[in-house]
Structure 1
Amino acid sequence: MLDQSTTPADVSIDVRNVSKCYHIYSRPQDRLLQLLLGRKRRFYKEFWALKDVNLTVRRGESVALIGRNGAGKSTLLQVISGVLQPTAGTASITGRIAPLLELGTSFNPEFTGMENIALSASVLGLTEEQIAERRNAIAAFADIGDFIHQPVRTYSSGMQARLAFAVAAHVDAEVLIVDEILSVGDISFTQKCTRFIREFRERGTLLFVSHDTAAVAALCDRAVWLNGGRLIEDGLPKEVTLHYQAWMANPQGQTDPAAYIALKRERDTEAQAAASPVEEPLQGEEAPRPAAPPRRTEAVAAIPSPASRAEVFDFRNDADWTGERGINIVHAAFQDADGNGINLIDGGTEITLVVEMEAVVPVSSPIVGFAIYDRLGQLIFAWDTSRSCEAYSFSAGPGDRFKAEFTFTFPYIAGGRYTMNLAVADGTADNHVQHHWLYHVLEFDVRYSSVANGLIGIPMHRVEIRPLLPA
């Protein structure tokens, strides 16, 4: 619902008292019996996918819907998009909408990718002239090669996702609705989608469904928790996702989430009150002595350092690039402390990244750098030679080959797929020519990791609990 500070002109999505009921039939013949005898008897059970949901999304906001499978997230998106009619309530949207719901729902499986571009773009409101102008750009964004001229029925789910997102990215939408699109496709596609979503947030309204709480925190201003078709909590992503994860991990079982939230807030209030300063006793009064805590035995645990193991894939010679190409990066690989090439890296071990290059023009002050990103395109860590004064003394002539070596302790990284960009320039950090910038040229997969929370782990040598001795 609208608050006092919000006017109707500020609202992109307005959902009021929306409910959606499905009829569940036990047997196929019950549908016919319901049609013939429905006035006398009901042959179905009711399933309420949504129950009295209210949601207001202001223009320019980015809102995530979270909740376990069957919570009603996709149903709510379909109602907002106009794909489904609600059983009760209303849902209105202001501005051109680009819904990315079930992948390929607007595709004709017998049409080619190019033909489906025209079909989907027309459904989303583009004119024939606009489609003709943007067709090649859409095909380039999808980046599925010659498959763009093949029937969509031959596409994988990832290829359909690429095509659907490419169309949505080129229809000048004011409202973008995304349902788990980032869970389909390779890391390069996911990072491309994430970059577009981040740019879109600067000018449009985003409604986003994901089970990935890291993506929710990175891409959204608000998070809305649905469960059993009801809205449980609406607030800051960090707070809502924390409550949702804690509820999902509740050892008492699946308690009612609304009751859980009420209890959690009550306990938080009590904890804050307990932590507030204690009043000093009046002069002459004796301060009450706190009860002695029960004696506890000392507990010490030797905790192994968080560990992770990354499998590094081969250098990609076909990686996308930009730059003047006065210097070319020709290869890159990791080596262990003995100088041997490796494709398995354990967190906490010393390794060397070796980047080999070839000069096409005279080089006087090369700057070589690398950056590692997670699947959402978030920068994990980076370094370049401009941070070291010794690197500026190097020079090379046309045809010379040279290398840069970065020796460092590989961090403990959370599980998932990561990519590395490499770049080489010539000049200073403030004034240089960018010669070769390679995107996603190295990928690595962290399949084992004991990093439970966050992106990077820290070495933990010991954990202990012991009595605090009186002063």
Structure 2
Amino acid sequence: MSSTAITVENVSKAYTVWSSPGARLHGPLLGRLGQLPFLPGGARALCKRLSHDAFRNYYALRDVSLEIRRGASVGILVRNGSGKSTLLQLLAGTLTPTLGDVTVIGRIAALLELGSGFDAEFTGRENVYLNAAIRGMTRRQTDAKFDEIVAFADIGDFIDQPIKTYSSGMMVRLAFAVSVCLKPEVLLVDEALSVGDIFFQQKCIRHMRDAMKDVTKVFVTHDLEAVRKVTEYAYVLDHGEIAFQGSSRDAVEFYIKMSHNASDRIVRSIRSPQVKPPVSRVDPGVLADLCWLDIKSTQLSGVGEVLIKRVAVTHADLHSIGTVQAKDRITIQLWLSCAAAKAHMIAGYILNDRLGNQVCGENTCSLTDGVFSLVAGEHLVRFDFDWPEIRPGDYTLTIGIGEGADPLRHVIQCWAHNVVKFSTVSPGRVIHCIFNNPMSNLAVMPISNDQEQGDVRCSGASLSSVGYD
């Protein structure tokens, strides 16, 4: 048996884009006329030219090649319009490539568009049997799996209601339950789990990790954390081509940089007015005494009108950092090069763990005077943060400069990725999970034996239990 489950070789997929609604009619007709042998040569050439001018080919995928081994969990990171739906449909067999070959070995279960494969007029029960029959299962085989599917979906009596009455979360629950309980050999997932509630998402991830180790799983998503946690290898698809392939952590980092660099093409409403230069000047002695880290070009992403050239990371007393622990004051100093005057700038940081997961971060929008201006030239920007009480281990620091006054919606001028590594310790403290969230107000009180359980009333809870979403 081959160790490869999916092979895509030099695949391109083109769609016909007509120049006008009428071109859909006269374009093919003129093409046929241009093939008639009794027409004069000039007439045939004219018909062929007019037919060719009636349309153009849009390539959703261009020369894509990938290979996925059996039992692997692979992520495909894409931006909107980069060909993800086309690629998944090619893998599922619902589309054929214009050029190249797609080979998938094994039974395929595909969670593509929400509700795909379901008949809205049928009940959940009827759709389970319909999907099983489409996948080649007999009614007896489906009967044996039905209780498992219903238990996994956990939609209660709605299993006997028409699909058209389901919420999006209920539809995802049933679709995923059918796909995983019918034991596929290849599972294709397109953003479907992002619709379900958090409890069901966790349940699905546990099931895929524990019960589907031998199943080849392909996730096409924008969710960077899901790619880090669920997959071990990933591809980045951009404008229909493979832009990167490698470990999931490296793929996520590449995707972030690619997204920041793309912001250069965004039409921005922020102008660069005349800005007064800052009053204070940097003490040359401070610059000379700091231990500067030079930033490599491969670590940078963003528009680049403001660049981070060097970084100094020290304790508050400007001494170098060895190990860190909770409440240590960390000072970040950035040496910036600004190509043009900027009126609204912010700075920030992110801490990443050894797997590349973003643990915490902040930007200067949280400060009273956190939005600042820059004139063209060189600048020193400094900010501090206290080290959080997080699990001991190694962490990396990513720092950034943005243009705008909104903490979430601003132009990334420059991000410097993984500029320094921290080793953190936690003397005398046990850190639970990623970080500790302190408890308070402990009280222990006896309950008298004569107090009946019926006297205890439950008030309406504000927290959600496992629901259907």
Say whether the 8 Å CA contact 1:15–1:53 is kept in structure 2: yes
Larger deviation: 40-49 or 236-245?
40-49
Task: Note the alpha carbon deviations across 1:50-105, whole angstroms, 9 max, x for none.
Answer: 00110100111111000101111221111011011111111011111111111222
1:197 — aligned with what? 208
Q: Indicate how the Cα distance of structure 1 residues 139 and 44 shifts in structure 2: closer, same or farther if over 3 A, else same.
A: same
Q: Indicate how the Cα distance of structure 1 residues 60 and 265 shifts in structure 2: closer, same or farther if over 3 A, else same.
A: farther
Task: Note the alpha carbon deviations across 1:290-347, whole angstroms, 9 max, x for none.
Answer: xxxxxx997643558889xxxxxxxxxxxxxxxxxxxxxxxxxxxxxxxxxxxxxxx9
Cα distance, 1:130 vs structure 2: 0.8
* Pair 1:131-2:142 in alignment: yes
| Cα distance in structure 1, aligned partners of 2:446 and 2:245 | 52
2:12 — aligned with what? 19
Q: Residue 15 of structure 1 aligns to which amino acid in structure 2?
A: V
Q: Residue 188 of structure 1 aligns to which amino acid in structure 2?
A: F
Where does the alignment leave 5 or more consecutive residues of structure 2 unmatched?
33-47, 267-295, 302-377, 390-435, 454-461
Where do 1:213-362 residues align within 5 Å? 213-250=224-261, 253-254=264-265, 264=298, 300-303=382-385, 351-352=440-441
- Equivalent of residue 46 in structure 1, options 57, 63, 68: 57
Q: Residue 56 of structure 2 aligns to which amino acid in structure 1?
A: K
Q: Indicate how the Cα distance of structure 1 residues 301 and 154 shifts in structure 2: closer, same or farther if over 3 A, else same.
A: same
1:35 — aligned with what? 28
What is the DSSP-based 3-state SS (H/G/I as helix, E as strand, rest coil) of the residue aligned with 2:176? helix
Q: Indicate how the Cα distance of structure 1 residues 298 and 181 shifts in structure 2: closer, same or farther if over 3 A, else same.
A: closer
Task: Note the alpha carbon deviations across 1:420-441, whole angstroms, 9 max, x for none.
Answer: 9xxxxxxxxxxxxxxxxxxx85
Q: Residue 155 of structure 1 aligns to which amino acid in structure 2?
A: Y
2:158 — aligned with what? 147
* Pair 1:64-2:57 in alignment: no
1:184 — aligned with what? 195
Task: Note the alpha carbon deviations across 1:394-450, whole angstroms, 9 max, x for none.
Answer: xx999899xxxxxxxxxxxxxxxxx99xxxxxxxxxxxxxxxxxxx8599xxxxxxx
Cα distance, 1:352 vs structure 2: 4.8
Q: Residue 227 of structure 1 aligns to which amino acid in structure 2?
A: D
Aligned alpha-carbon RMSD (Å): 3.6
Say whether the 8 Å CA contact 2:70–2:214 is kept in structure 1: no
Say whether the 8 Å CA contact 2:75–2:233 is kept in structure 1: yes
Cα distance, 1:28 vs structure 2: 2.8
| Cα distance in structure 2, aligned partners of 1:354 and 1:15 | 62
Q: Indicate how the Cα distance of structure 1 residues 241 and 355 shifts in structure 2: closer, same or farther if over 3 A, else same.
A: farther
Q: Indicate how the Cα distance of structure 1 residues 357 and 52 shifts in structure 2: closer, same or farther if over 3 A, else same.
A: farther
| Cα distance in structure 1, aligned partners of 2:168 and 2:81 | 21
Q: Indicate how the Cα distance of structure 1 residues 147 and 86 shifts in structure 2: closer, same or farther if over 3 A, else same.
A: same
What is the DSSP-based 3-state SS (H/G/I as helix, E as strand, rest coil) of the residue aligned with 1:249? helix
Give the paired residue count.
290
Q: Indicate how the Cα distance of structure 1 residues 355 and 254 shifts in structure 2: closer, same or farther if over 3 A, else same.
A: farther
Q: Indicate how the Cα distance of structure 1 residues 350 and 137 shifts in structure 2: closer, same or farther if over 3 A, else same.
A: closer
Task: Note the alpha carbon deviations across 1:365-386, whole angstroms, 9 max, x for none.
Answer: xxxxxxxxxxxxxxxxxxxxxx
Moved over 6 A (4+): 304-307, 353-358, 396-401
- Equivalent of residue 164 in structure 1, options 154, 161, 175: 175
What is the DSSP-based 3-state SS (H/G/I as helix, E as strand, rest coil) of the residue aligned with 1:56? strand
Instruction: Give me the TM-score of the superposition, normalised by structure 1.
Output: 0.55
